[in-house]
């Protein structure tokens, strides 16, 4: 009876050992799965850290670009102000040049008229000189006829 009891106890212990070995195997498999998941999480953590670093870089770049935009806006405003101050002076110069052009056109037309009058006078002078020459010839001819 003691032997049978010991055999039963040994059999019970063997069953418990097999059960515990089976549980240990399952737990090892579960641990392996958890380690794989953990590695995946570590990779995700690494990716997340990389994304956060990249996000910081992009935020810095955005801040730099905003600064550049603000600088360009100041330059644009300055140029607009300069242009608006130059426009009236430019318009005044254009108006003065247009007045000068008008005056020069008027003078040119006046000089053309004077030139035309001068040409007419020259033509009349030439005609009168021819007439005078004809009269002189006639006078000389008349004088020479009277002498003869």
Residue matched to tokens 């001068």: 118
Residues 90-119: tens digit of each pLDDT: 899 999 999 999 999 999 999 999 999 999
Phi, psi (deg, nearest 5) at residue 15: -60, -40
Does pLDDT of 148 surpass 80? no
Query: What is the spatial distance between Cα 82 and Cα 65, in angstroms, rounded to a whole number?
Result: 25
pTM of the shown model: 0.42
Residues 9-21: tens digit of each pLDDT: 999 999 999 999 9
Query: What is the spatial distance between Cα 25 and Cα 33, in angstroms, rounded to a whole number?
Result: 12
């Amino acid at each position: 009876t003691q032997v049978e009891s010991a055999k039963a106890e040994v059999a019970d212990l063997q069953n418990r050992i097999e059960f515990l070995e089976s549980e240990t195997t399952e737990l090892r498999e579960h641990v392996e799965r958890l380690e794989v998941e953990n590695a995946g999480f570590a990779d995700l953590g690494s990716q997340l850290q990389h994304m956060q670093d990249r996000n910081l870089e992009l935020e810095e770049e955005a801040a730099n670009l905003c600064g550049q935009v603000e600088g360009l806006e100041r330059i644009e405003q300055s140029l607009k102000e300069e242009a608006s101050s130059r426009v009236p002076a430019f318009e005044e110069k254009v108006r003065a040049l247009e007045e000068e052009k008008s005056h020069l056109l008027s003078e040119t037309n006046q000089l053309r008229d004077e030139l035309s009058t001068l040409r007419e006078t020259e033509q009349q002078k030439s005609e009168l000189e021819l007439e005078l020459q004809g009269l002189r010839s006639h006078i000389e001819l008349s004088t020479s006829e009277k002498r003869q």
